[in-house]
Chains A and B, each alone.
Chain A
């Protein structure tokens, strides 16, 4: 087994045509909060970590280099929740093979939601359902790009609670992008900032 202090996700010298020398580590049950101006590269960092954009550098999941996984296998484990979710089938249910019912219930949906038409979902419903859709894969690392941007206060708190409980129960980790300092205060164990493609940890 790995030493207890092996980070769940470790990144060494990640470079893309925009990101410069990003290094970071997130441990189990930890949430790293990330903020920064628009255009500073937050979304690009999440995309690179999910291996959706061409990038160079070492990325390890529980000490295992990502090259040991296929692209899809990596993305099942290191899952990206984009700011805007997209739905390709007509009904919600077809977007995952097995939906986590407790999560749907906690998000305020009944089982009927799986029959709903995707074309009629509100932006808030889409965002909450996209979270449930992602958790259906039981990912080890959650890359969350402003997961509560379209939600009212009540739903925002619910989503925060669900994510933190998931990290605890699954021994998972999260990288949470938010523009709201108060939110990062609530959910993040540590914070970091992006500035023009550079990543900077902040001291507690």
Chain B
């Protein structure tokens, strides 16, 4: 089966559906039509540009260009993690915490997948590296964002209990153990759900893409499994790193609870 190429006309039909939805939203006064159109326009521009960039990237296989591309992906993902926090860490920690946890988990796991599992040569062949890293970054991003938000929000809400334990001479690790556990668990729930329903409720995006692209379904399933496992490992590792460093940051060297290191509540 050959790939059916999409014409601008094909995309136009799909886009018309979005416009129809925006029109409905305007009629029903949902107040979301504008946002919907902007989001649709953004995705059009972003994906077209990405397509063009990847085209040159694939043609050149230059390590420098690939490194620049991954740096941009990481920077945006890091910003996204920070933006999703209701109470973020003040100062450079706010950005660095999520970004470095994502770097540690996504990059090492992608590297391992490329060199040990898929064994492409050279290891930085962009057809493999960019999609793999993109999927890992996107998913660890959600995991870390949820886990960190959980950590800071629950610490704020349970500050009196935490301080009550500190007053009784408990170590900071004891005082925050329960909150830490819950935060970690919450960071892993999206991927657990994704793995649980994969293939029954949802046909995962990558497998869909490969099947549409003409791959044999069983091969597509194997690749999807590989990705799911890598994402699980990446989210887990990333959330662990972020929660460990984040909870440490909530206490100082005298083991005082330092909520002043968090910013005010963001609506």
Q: Mark A37-57, 1 if CB is under 8 A from B, else 0.
A: 000000000000011111000
- Residues B254 and A50 in contact, CB atoms below 8 Å apart: no
Q: Which of B158, B165, B172, B178 has the most CB of A within 10 A?
A: B165
Given A75-B169, A76-B169, A86-B164 contact (CB < 8 Å)? yes
* A50 neighbours in B (Cβ, 8 Å): 167
How many residue pairs, one in A and one in B, have C-beta atoms under 8 Å apart? 59
Give the secondary structure class of A's interface: loop
Chain B interface size, under 10 / 10 to 19 / 20 to 34 / 35 or more: 20 to 34
- Residues B171 and A52 in contact, CB atoms below 8 Å apart: no
* A52 neighbours in B (Cβ, 8 Å): 163, 166-167, 256-257
A86 to B168, CA, bound (A): 11
A75 to chain B, nearest CB (A): 5
Residues of A70-92 contacting chain B, CB below 8 A: 70-76, 79-80, 82, 84-88
* B255 neighbours in A (Cβ, 8 Å): 70-72
A86, closest chain B residue (CB)? B164
A79, closest chain B residue (CB)? B167
Of B158, B160, B171, B252, which is within 8 A of A72 by CB? B171
Q: Mark B150-189, 1 if CB is under 8 A from A, else 0.
A: 0000000010110111111111100000100000000000
A174 to B113, CA, bound (A): 62
Of B160, B161, B256, B258, which is within 8 A of A51 by CB? B256
- Residues A72 and B163 in contact, CB atoms below 8 Å apart: no
B256 to chain A, nearest CB (A): 6
- Residues B169 and A72 in contact, CB atoms below 8 Å apart: yes
- Residues B256 and A54 in contact, CB atoms below 8 Å apart: yes
* A87 neighbours in B (Cβ, 8 Å): 161, 164
- Residues B168 and A85 in contact, CB atoms below 8 Å apart: no
- Residues B166 and A72 in contact, CB atoms below 8 Å apart: yes
A137 to B164, CA, bound (A): 14
* B160 neighbours in A (Cβ, 8 Å): 84, 86
Chain A interface size, under 10 / 10 to 19 / 20 to 34 / 35 or more: 20 to 34
A74 to B255, CA, bound (A): 11
B169, closest chain A residue (CB)? A76
A70, closest chain B residue (CB)? B255
- Residues A75 and B164 in contact, CB atoms below 8 Å apart: no
Given A52-B256, A70-B255, A72-B255, A79-B164 contact (CB < 8 Å)? no
- Residues B161 and A75 in contact, CB atoms below 8 Å apart: no
Residues of A146-189 contacting chain B, CB below 8 A: none
* A51 neighbours in B (Cβ, 8 Å): 254, 256
Given A86-B160, A86-B161, A71-B168 contact (CB < 8 Å)? no
A155 to chain B, nearest CB (A): 21
A146 to chain B, nearest CB (A): 15
Is A134 part of the contact surface with B, judged by Cβ < 8 Å? yes
A85 to B254, CA, bound (A): 22
A82 to B254, CA, bound (A): 19
A73 to B172, CA, bound (A): 12
* B168 neighbours in A (Cβ, 8 Å): 75-76, 79, 95-96, 133-134, 137
A130 to chain B, nearest CB (A): 9
- Residues B170 and A72 in contact, CB atoms below 8 Å apart: yes
A53 to B164, CA, bound (A): 13
- Residues A73 and B164 in contact, CB atoms below 8 Å apart: no
Q: Which of B165, B178, B252, B256 has the most CB of A within 10 A?
A: B256
A77 to chain B, nearest CB (A): 8
- Residues A82 and B256 in contact, CB atoms below 8 Å apart: no
29 pairs of residues in contact across A and B, judged by CB atoms under 8 Å: A51-B254, A52-B166, A52-B167, A52-B256, A54-B256, A70-B255, A71-B172, A71-B253, A72-B166, A72-B169, A72-B170, A72-B255, A73-B169, A75-B166, A75-B167, A79-B167, A79-B168, A82-B164, A82-B167, A84-B160, A85-B164, A86-B161, A86-B164, A87-B161, A87-B164, A95-B168, A96-B168, A134-B168, A137-B169
Binding site for A on B (CB under 8 A): 158, 160-161, 163-172, 178, 252-258
Q: A70-B255, A82-B164, A87-B164 are in contact. List 20 more A-B contacts (CB 8 A).
A: A50-B167, A52-B167, A52-B256, A53-B256, A54-B256, A71-B172, A71-B256, A73-B169, A75-B166, A75-B169, A79-B169, A80-B167, A82-B167, A84-B160, A85-B164, A88-B158, A88-B178, A96-B168, A134-B167, A137-B168
